[in-house]
Each structure stands twice: as C-alpha cells, then as structure tokens.
Structure 1
Amino acid sequence: MKYDICIVGSGAGASPVAYTLANAGAKVLVLEKGAWLTEKEFYKDELAISLRDAYNPKLEDEQHVIEEEYENEAGESYWQGEATSESGWSFWNGTVVGGSSNFMSGYFHRLKPVDFRLKTEFGDIKGANVEDWPISYAELEPYYAMVEKVVGVSGRVTEHPHQEPRSTDFPYPPVAEHAISSWIDESAEKIGYHTVPVPRAILSKPAMGRQSCEYSGYCSSYGCSSGAKGSGRAALLNHAVATGNCTITPHAKVYKIATDSQGEISGVHYYDKAGRKKVVQAKYYVVACQAVETSRLLLASKGEKFPNGLANNSGHVGKNLIFSGGGTGRGDFFYKDLTAEKKAQLTQVGPFINRALQDWYQIDDKAFNGINRNGKAKGGTIDFLFYQNPISRAQGTQWQYDESQDSEKLLWGEELKQSMKAEFTTYKTLRFEVFNDWLPTDNCFVDLDDEVTDKWGDKVAKIRIGAHHHDLDVGEYLAEKAEKLLGEMGATNISSSVSSAPASNLMAGGCRFGNDPKTSVLNKNCQAHEVDNLFVTDASFMPTGGSVPYTFTIYANSFRVADHIKARWQENIS
C-alpha cells in the first residue's frame, strides 16, 4: 500500500505530524522500531527501570560507538572510540511507541526569544559553530500554545525578569506541589532570587480521554500508568489511530531510505518483527528517530545522487550534534535538625517540587569569567527535584570510606543494614539540575562506524563527544547560584558536579535547519534542501539547543512543520 505520509519514529517529533495529517484525512504510516506498550504495561517496576533498562534494546544487539578525547603522556590529545556494549553507556532513551516522551519528567519550559538569535546577541565564539535560527520566537509561539492545549501542560504564569512573551495562559492549573516548594520560595526571596513555577506536561485534571496525575512519586524515567503524562503516544498517537487514518507498525527497524537515479525517494526499507525485509512508499517522508539515529539513517541511505548519504551532498548530516550543558547538585536535610512539622513536610511523597530559577538565563555579571570577558553570556535554567526511586537511592550504601585504608570498603551484614537504615531514615536530599547551552563544535558529530554493526548487520552510529569549555564555565556559574540557595535553606553536604559528559536523553542537532543549503541540511520548514518530499522533525533541526529540556520545543516545531506538510498535501489533492 502507498501512503500519503510515512513517518520513521513515533516520539515527540513524529506524533504531531501523525496527529495533524491523520485528522486532516491523510493516510499515515508510522514505523517504530520498538514495541507498542500502553498504560497497563507501565506499572512502577523499579527493577525494570533501575537495573534492566527494560524499554531499550540490549546493547549486545544494538549499540553505539562513543569517541571521547584523551591525552597521552606527552600532553597530546587524541580521540578514542569504545562500543557501548563494552562501556555499558546506553544512548537509547525509550525504544517504544511514543519514544522517550513516555519517560520524560515533563519540564515544559519554552525557549526564549534570545535562544533564536545567539549569534546576533552574543557574537561569534571561537571554536563554536553558533548560528541564529531561520525562524523567530514569534513564529513558534502559537505552536507552544497549541502544545499546551493539545498535549496538556499544567502551570501558572508569574512575573519574572526573563518571562517570555505568551499569547495565552496555561490551559490546565498547576499539579500539586510539595511543601518544600515554599521553602525554596522563602529562601530565594531572602537572597534576591526569583523562583519560577515549572510547567509540566502532566494533566492536573482529567481531559481528552486521559486521567489526571495520581502522584505516585514515580515519574522521571517511568511510563505513566494513568495517561496523565503528555507522551506522544497518549496525547497524540492514540487520537491519530482513532481517526482510522493512521497505522502504527511496531517492531519495524528502518535501515535505509532508497532513492532512484533521479534522487527521488523510491521507498523506505525496514525489517519487521520476524526479521523479514519490507518496503513501503509514500508521497511525503518524515524522519524523527532522535538526533543520533536520524543522522545514522540518512548517512546509511546512500544512492546514485547521494553517495555520502541522503540529503548530504553538503556534508552536514551528522555535524553540529549538541546535548545539554550543565550538571547536577545536591544538599541534605537531616531530620534531627528539623521540627516535627518540617520533617513531616519533607517526607511527603507524591507531589512535585515544580520550582526553577531563570534569573541568569542571560548572564550580565562582571564576576563571570567566561568567553565574553565583559561578563555577558547566555546562561540557563536551574530545576529542583527529588529522586524517589528507593533502588537507585540504595545503590552505594554498600560502600563506606575507610580512613585507615584511604579507600572504600564493602559492607556486610549488620554494617550494611545500618548504612541502609541511615540512608532512608535520617535525611532527605534536595537535588538540582542545571541546563545551559551545549555549543555546537567541529568535534561533536555523528558518523557511521566502520567496524561495529547491530544484530541486523548494519553499521552503528559513531558519536564523537566534544564539549566547548565555555559550556562548563556557564554550568559552574549556575551551579554556584543553586548551591547558595541550598545554603540559605539550611542544607548540609552541599555539592555539585558540572562536566562535559552529556546526558544522553538530551540530544539535538545533526541536521540543522537554515537558509543556506551549503551550511545546513534543512530549510526553515525542516524540509531537506536536496529532497523535496523529505522532512526531519525531531530535535535534529536545532542549530542551538537553548537552556531548557528540548521536548516542548520539539513538539511545537513538529506541529509547525505538520501544518506546512498538510498545506502541501491538501494543495496536491485539490
């Protein structure tokens, strides 16, 4: 069967296209490599999440090769690759229908106008490939509002020095907040900080055939058993399928997009669940496999007109891969130091903290010693959270530092029991995450590995991870601000860690969009410069990532592109 739209992938970049086109009457096919799971499979299985990585491929079957920079004895740097089957460092984020949006925390901060024009605002940065976006915040703003309504975002708008322009208020009231949110607010006010309530892609009341949040305390990394979380599956694909116009094929691993001698797409080739090769055709093709796998697929799709990979005669496919700069931090609150009332508040489980700081989304501080010595730079966001998963919390309690041996010793029996008891009954840790820009560079990209293959015999993606030192400067600056707040709150054992080892669930770039075909892969509508009916709608399109998690912007941009595809499809059938 020939479809109107064939979409490779089913996450935040794919689902708005399927939803929009299916509702318009187009015949849509979604090819997803993973399984089609629903709410009944997303029970709170801590072993599946903490120890088994149950919703992703086994690394011996499907992996990546990660290249990192090292230094030899002579002080010379070199790049060394290691397969993730050996390191255990998984770059998969949710290989199921709906993709990683099933497992997100749902922090839905919008980008701000400054994020669309970093080069204009801050100038060139040596060693970085910073470019302005070919669209403005104003062009994307109506689609942010659409996502808030259709996907379901709960929140409230507050006055803030860096509040972005909005055309509407949030359509759903905030989800319930943990008592520690008021502690953060009070301490922040004392030291001149401005807290921001965090919008969440989680329904605070039933809507659109979905239930509201049940406040289990298990959200980040977990699938949502109530359907409250705005995953691409629950919020969009279920409705797309209900139209009768959308077909989802799970266990479909796409390995090539073939082209004819004229450079036109002749079909999408995939393996089905039984390993059989199949091919489908469509009028329009959309690739949305997450940044690394999208670049891998295009690079692997070579043809007569595209010897270096589909839409890659410019050589930019896979280039300028970005992650999220920043890091994490923590502070402990010991129950013995608290009143009974405060302890009861702190030990509450379920509601969200929902507090962020964006006072330094743009840094203007002479004390900042980054690239721009005038103290001005793009900053970022600080979000506060608890880790609720007991298994993750217990990991590490089996070790104790032995001063006499200056090393860690393994605990057994009664010592282990006491260590675990102390972990769970004497204190609670408030954590923060820092999000700032990961500047695109020549040393952060995706290629195909010449030696390692997956279980189907196809070349896997090789990912070089090179970070700009400016990212670390900004991350450390923000972490210091967060540590100051924890100190004001009365926390102890305050610490933070900012590094160039990226969180693999925050990836973008590789097929950046722009107006110049010589320096970009896609045009402003995320259509390949070299292939008229090929679009890329995951985070691959982003020239820069901003200083917030990416999912909200992926959704918004995908709805924007979906409107463009719909208009073209309708014009051709009229």
Structure 2
Amino acid sequence: MSDTHYDIIIIGTGAGGGTMLDTLRKSGKRILVLERGTFLPKEKANWDAGEVFQKERYHNAEDFLDDRGEPFQPETSYWVGGSTKFYGAAMFRLRETDFQRVQHAGGVSPKWPLTYADFEPYYTKAEKLYSVHGKSNLDPTEPYRSAGYPHDAISHEPVIQELYDTLTHKGYRPFYLPLGIRLNEQDPLRSACIRCDTCDGFPCLIDAKADADVTCIRPALNDSNVTLLTHARATRLLTNAQGNEIKAVEVESGGSQRQFSADIVVVSCGAINSALLFQQSATDRHPDGLANRSGQVGRNFMKHQNAAIMALSRQANPTVFQKTLGLNDFYYGDKEFNFPMGHIQLMGKANKDMIGADAPALAPDFVLEKVAHHTTDWWLMAEDLPDPDNRIELRKGKRILHYKANNEEGFNRLRTKWKAILQECTPCDSTLDHTLYFGKTISLAGVSHQNGTMRFGTDPATSVLDLNCKTHEIDNLYVVDASFFVSSGAVNPSLTIIANAIRVGEHILDRMK
C-alpha cells in the first residue's frame, strides 16, 4: 500500500475531529490526522491572563473581512485540540425542543431532521468520554437521560453557594453547570484538576481540562495505525473525473504541497474553515464549491447572541473556581414574554488583566484589581436564527464573514431580567450586593460557538449533508464539526459536536465493515 494512501483521513483535531479519531482508532484502519497547527506549548504563559487575553498569545487565525470590507482576526486558534484547548468545558445537551420548530420573537428556529431521541445515546457516550460532572433533575429544561452524569456535580464555593440558595429560596431553579474537567473532589490527591482560576478561556498547563487533545488525540497516538501530521494545512479536496469521490487531499506542509488519499475523508476544520475548504476546492463539476448544488455551503452561519456581564458589589468575591452555576428559567420565556430568551451561566472569575483587555488604556492596575475582586461574572447566551445571508464567502482569495445579528429582543430582555434578579437576590446584608453592572456584547470576532454553514437534511436541494453527515453529492466525504447544525439552540455546542462525531464515527465503522 502507498505510504500516502490511508483508509481514513481526518482533517482537524478539535471536538469533532478528535472525537472521530477516538471512535475509529481501534478499528485497525490506517488513519491519517491532519492538523494545521501543532501542540500548544506548555509554558507559564498558559496561565497568564495578560498574555492570553490582552496579548492574545495563542490566537493564530488569519485575518478575515467583515461585510463592510473591514479586517478582523477571529478569536480562534489552530492547535492540536482546536478550540477545546480554550473552552470553558460547559457540556450541555441541546434541549428536546431545540430539535423542533420553535417560534421566537425574531423568527423561526427550524426543525431538525433528527430528534433528541436519535442523539440521546451518543450524548451519554460523549459525557463519559469527556468526564462530564453534573447533577440531574435541577434544570427545568433538562431533557430526559438514559443514564446519570458519569461524575458528581462540582461543588460551589461559599459565595456562589449562598447565591444558589438565595435564588432557590426566591423560586428560581439554578443548577450545577455540567463541566468536562478531570476533577476528583472526593480524593484531591488523585485529581488532575486543582480548581484554579485559569480554566475558562485558558489552555490548561496541567492537562486537567477534558479537551480533545488530552482526551482523544494523545491516547490515539499510542496506536500504530494512527498517524498525526501537524503543521499540515489542507488546502484543497480533489475529486475524481465524475466529481462524486474525493481522490486526494492537497496539503501544505513544510513549505511544499503534498497529496494524500483515503477511502473516507472526514472534514472537521470548524464551521467557518470547513465551508471555506469546500469553496476553495471548486471544480468544473462543482463550480460553486464542493457539494454545493444546493447553494448552502457557507450559508446560515450562527454563533449565538453572547454577552459578558460583570456584577459589581461593595463586598469582595473571593471565589476562585467560579464557573459552577447555571440558570435556564427563561430559556422558553416567561409570563410577560412568551418567546425564548436564553441561557445564563457563571464565567471563570475575572482578574485585572482580563478586565484590562477591554478597559480604557489609561485605567491603572490598582483600580482594575480592586474591581476584579468585587465582581461576579456571568455569560448570557441566546439563539441567533439561521439566515442564508449570514455566511462565510471566499471571494478572490479573501475570506469574508457576512453577519447581521437577529432575534435580539429576547436576548435584550434576558439581560435586563438577569440584572433585576441579581439585585432582588442580593440585598445589602448579603455576602454580595450587586449595585453596578458593566460588560460587553461579544463582537463578530467571537466565533467560538460557530455553527450551521453546511446543514444536514434529507433533501439535497436544501442541505449539504445527509443524515449521516456525508455530503449528498460526494460519496466518501463527511463533515463532523458544527457545520451540520440546523439551528443553534441557546446552550454551548461542544457536547452536541462530540455526540454527533461518535454517531457518525459508528456509522463509518459499519460502512467500512
């Protein structure tokens, strides 16, 4: 067999590609994994907020253009493990209704071609693989489960526990965030995680975060049938003369072009870059990009409506590992607003350098440090709706991301509602008395939740991928990142990407038998 031919090629090592490798690695098939980056270095800067947030030390994506022609750099990075190296490891299942048609104030979230029941067994496998901690029957929107969480919920520190108790007393239903970290609170000496304050948004210096690199890629490298090639950027997918099969993957590596072939090619570059790879692989048979007879490649880009809110109190908040509490009471709306609003969760604890990344340049460090010691930090998320005009486009070699926010009324209500609830739940005799709020809506550069650019479905006229995430038009080409999403829901997408990669991986195993 040629040393450039494999049974399977996987392009990308993030939540989709890494999990796909874990699913296939014991098959005995020869697998080549291509990663345009390399292993993220272990260094003190991993836990340095100034380096990570202000200097953006690990953001290495190329510049894009917005639809006004203005350049920007997406807040994403090319490393083994992909975006999971920096994620907060919040591992949510989409709600059962997220797979159905949902009316929002700003439009309709369409029905998926599969249901929650189709994904449920794979969610269970995904939670086990990524060491998810949680507690059932607290979140009022939680879908049914065939098994409990594989690990106990991560405990709240005292200030957050008091807030949890107060919210519960007021009639709200907070819950423990489901988190994928390698923590053992019962036996700390056996715990990889030390509950530090540099988790959410940071690479983990001690490999305690259940990212795709630590969980899937490194263990697979012990298998003789697996080859990982780093600094290897897939530049084109080459088809046969009929245009119905990928005959080679063109790769830029070490300053030269190489080609590799495989019986099955799996693309998992992230929703933006996967769509770009398809577009830049256009041929006479596929003049608008591979598998794009529907015209849907690159369209319906979604990234959630996201905002960070820092609630400032006169009392200090000494919490270290803060990201443990969530609230979904307004996921479907409330009595005053009969449309979905979204999801609320704690962020990692802010410090002066994280605040300084968005503060005025002349703000002195001692002021930023004082502020950081008195905040409780929240992440609010709402669904943006699929819009064919929100798209990634390759034009004359330029990468253009067209995006206009939609469905904002519910999100704005959620922000107003949450500030009012925090004031209601933190009277002056409480540990925290939130009296001032500041924060930001996440800009176009914040694409960590990117999804939807190559939706799956049963109709080749309106979708790019079939129900097994194989392209309708090319028989050996699959996509397993968040490109396949039909809608975004209002919870973190990582677990759904992982569950789907397991589902598609098992299909590929059956196919190759």
Contact 1:325-1:502 within 8 A present in 2 as well: no
**Mapped partners of 1:513, 1:224: distance in 2:** 34
8 Å Cα contact 1:253-1:271 kept in structure 2 = yes
Match of 2:327 in 1: 357
C-alpha change, 1:175 and 1:226, in structure 2 (3 Å) is farther
Which SS does the other structure have where 1:185 is aligned?
helix
Q: What's the offset of the Cα at 1:260?
A: 2.1
CA distance in 1, matches of 2:384, 2:365: 42
Give 3-state SS (helix, strand or coil) of 2:452's partner: strand
Call closer, same or farther: CA 1:417–1:525 in 2, change over 3 Å: closer
Task: Say yes or no: does 1:419 pair with 2:339.
Answer: no
Match of 2:421 in 1: 485
2:403 — aligned with what?
465
Could you tell me which amino acid in structure 2 is paired with residue 194 of structure 1? R
**Count of matched residue positions in the alignment of Structure 1 and Structure 2:** 499
What letter matches 2:264 in structure 1? Y
- Matched residue SS, 1:235: helix
Q: Which residue of 2 aligns with 1:436?
A: 382
Structure possessing the higher radius of gyration over alpha carbons? 1
Structure 1 position 168, deviation (Å) = 0.9
Instruction: Answer yes or no: is the 8 Å Cα contact 2:77–2:83 preserved in 1.
Output: yes
Conservation of the 8 A alpha-carbon contact between 1:445 and 1:510: yes
Between 31-40 and 216-225, the greater mean CA deviation after superposition: 31-40
Counterparts of 1:143-542 in structure 2, within 5 Å, are 143-205=122-184, 212-263=192-243, 264-272=245-253, 274-335=254-315, 343=316, 346-349=317-320, 351-365=321-335, 367-368=336-337, 375=338, 377-395=339-357, 410=362, 416=364, 419-420=367-368, 422-423=370-371, 427-450=373-396, 459-468=397-406, 471-487=407-423, 488-489=425-426, 490-495=433-438, 501=444, 503-542=446-485
Secondary structure of the corresponding residue to residue 332 of structure 1: strand
Deviation digits for residues 467-522 of structure 1 (CA, Å, limit 9, x no counterpart): 22xx2111112112321222021211135655775732111011000111000000
SS at match of 2:269: coil
Secondary structure at 1:302 match in 2: coil
Matched, 1:110 2:80: no
CA spacing shift, 1:48–1:329, aligned 2, 3 Å: closer
Larger CA deviation: 145-154 vs 509-518: 145-154
Aligned mate of 1:564, from 497, 507, 512: 507
Matched AA of 2:70:
E
Q: What one-letter code is carried by the residue in structure 2 that aligns with 1:253?
A: R
Q: Give me the identity figure in percent.
A: 28
Following the alignment from structure 1 to structure 2, what is the Cα–Cα distance between the partners of residues 396 and 545? 27
CA distance, structure 2, for counterparts of residue 397 and residue 440 of structure 1: 33
Within the candidate set 481, 486, 510, 1:543 is matched to 486
Name the CA distance, whole Å, in 2 between partners of 1:513 and 1:124.
25
Query: Per-residue deviation at 1:276?
Result: 0.4
- Residue 6 of structure 2 is aligned to residue 10 of structure 1: no
One-letter identity of the residue aligned with 2:494? T
Deviation at 1:545, TM superposition (A): 0.7
Aligned-pair CA distance for 1:523: 0.7
Give the TM-score normalised by the residue count of structure 1. 0.82
Partner deviation per Cα, 1:422-465 (whole Å, 9 max, x = no partner): 446xx511121111111011321011032xxxxxxxx2421101
Name 1:75's counterpart in structure 2: none
Partner SS state of residue 81, structure 1: coil
Q: Any unmatched runs of 5+ in structure 1?
A: 68-79, 85-89, 336-342, 369-374, 400-409, 451-458
Does the Cα contact within 8 Å between 2:175 and 2:327 map onto a contact in 1?
yes
Output the TM-score relative to the length of structure 2.
0.91
Matches of 2:360 and 2:474, distance apart in 1: 56
* Whole-angstrom distance in 1 between the partners of 2:505 and 2:44: 30
Deviations 1:113-171 (A, max 9, x none): 10001x2x438965x6x421111111111111111111211122233422210111111
Q: CA–CA distance in 2 between the matches of 1:567 and 1:323?
A: 33
Aligned residues: CA RMSD: 2.4
Alignment partners' CA distance in 2, 1:220 and 1:422? 21
Distance 1:163 1:46, change over 3 A: closer
Classify 1:562/1:39 alpha carbon distance in 2 versus 1 (closer, same or farther; 3 Å). Answer: farther
Q: Secondary structure at the match of 1:447?
A: strand
* Residue 96 (1) aligns with residue 39 (2): no
Report the secondary structure of 1:269's partner residue: strand
